[in-house]
Amino acid sequence: MKKLLLILSIIAITACSQQDPKEQIKHLNGYWQIEKVEIEKDSVMEYSLSPFIDYIEINDSIGFRKKLKPKIDGGFIKASNDAEKITARIEDNTLILYYSTPFDEWKEEVLEADEEELVVKNRDNKKYYYQRYKPLLSQDEEETQE
């Protein structure tokens, strides 16, 4: 009986911890800053401050991702005129992002997406951890410095 309760508890916890892909897609839009890349379980590249951020915009499952360079005043400079086309699809209760450029096509599995964090896994099984971008100076800090 104890084993059955333990198994049911594990199943319930696992089922509750998986995010709903329809909810995940709602959190993708916006500015994201790379935090780290997990190349293998014991090999992680940390990014303390990246000069570029990703801007993602998806409407009705179609959108794009662009690289931007943040400015000190809170604005942005386009890193290039290129944008990666994104198509978001839910497959087997998992959110998959399909990317395409004139040069390549690939997909990433969304492992986690909420207001503050985005985690995706690419075709090489590398996990990319992003955090919601926050400008170095907030609007309040800029006003107090003037």
Q: What is the pLDDT of residues 12-55, one digit of tens each?
A: 444 445 789 999 999 999 999 999 999 988 899 998 888 899 99
Q: What is the pLDDT of residues 78-133, one digit of tens each?
A: 877 789 999 999 999 999 999 999 999 999 999 999 999 999 999 999 999 999 99
Is 15 inside a domain boundary? Answer: no
Provide the pLDDT for residue 140: 54
Write the CB contacts of 61 (distance below 8 Å, at least 6 apart in sequence).
25, 87, 88, 89
Is 134 inside a domain boundary? Answer: yes
Provide the pLDDT for residue 81: 79
Question: What is the tally of structural domains in the chain?
Answer: 1
- Characterise 3 by phi-psi region: left (phi > 0), alpha (psi -120 to 50), beta (else): alpha
**CATH classification at residue 67:** 2.40.128.280
- CA 108, 112, 114, 116 torsion: positive or negative? negative
Is 16 inside a domain boundary? Answer: no
Range of the domain at 45: 23-145
Whether pTM exceeds 0.75: yes
57: pLDDT strictly greater than 50: yes
Is 59 inside a domain boundary? Answer: yes
